[in-house]
Amino acid sequence: MHFSSLITFALLGAAWAAPSQAITEITEIDNGLQQVAPVLAALGDVTAKLQDLQSALAGITESSPAATAKAALDAKSKAIEDALDKAAKDTTAAQAIPLTGALQLQGPSGKLVTATKDVINALIAKKPIIEKAGFKADVKGSLTRQKAKSDALVKAIQGKLPAAVQSLVASATKDVGDALEKGIAAFS
């Protein structure tokens, strides 16, 4: 009799613990998503600012007044720098990101890499116009500042991630640094 009672209690205990474990796992996933939310928003903002710059570049032609083109590029470049500063600040202030949250960074970071490469390629395509208008050095300076700010953001993100994925993030973000270096070299 005691043995069957023991089995019954064990089964009831297992049945009671299973939902509790599932709730714990769901809570951990939800916490991971909440902790990564500020970083996701920051990456989205930087990507949007890059896309704004690309749109501005598309509107610059050889017949564009130099002062107008320079003002547009300066404003959009400054917006990128500000977004990078805010992203690094928000990321630094965020909580540590668990592995479940870190996985959510793949899509937005991929979009950021693509947007960065697209902008650098668009800038290089407009280089003759930029040189003719006389603000090649301004573009190089802006790209140099963006590279430094991008590096700071990467460090902030890496500092919030589990050690197991920090090296993966470093290799993924290398593409952004490489694209910015390509732009800096093109305008040197």
What are the backbone angles phi and psi of residue 62, rounded to the nearest 5°? -65, -25
What's the CA gap between 77 and 164, in Å, rounded?
A: 34
What are the residue ranges of helices labelled H in 94-135?
Answer: 99-102, 106-125, 127-133
Number of domains in the chain: 1
Taking a C-beta distance cutoff of 8 angstroms, is the pair 42, 112 a contact?
A: no
> For 14-66, what is each residue's pLDDT tens digit?
555 555 444 444 444 444 567 788 889 999 999 999 999 999 999 999 888 98
pLDDT attached to residue 20: 46
What whole-number distance in Å separates Cα of residue 117 and Cα of residue 178?
Answer: 9
- The domain containing residue 99 runs over which residues? 2-186
Read off the pLDDT of residues 130-180 as tens digits, 9 standing for 90 and up.
Answer: 998 889 999 999 999 999 999 999 899 888 888 888 777 777 678 888 999
Q: Is the pLDDT of residue 107 over 70?
A: yes
Structure token pair of residue 113: 């890499």
Q: Which helix (H) or strand (E) holds 103?
A: none
Place of tokens 């305008």: 187
This prediction's pTM: 0.80
Q: Are 91 and 160 in contact (CB under 8 A)?
A: yes
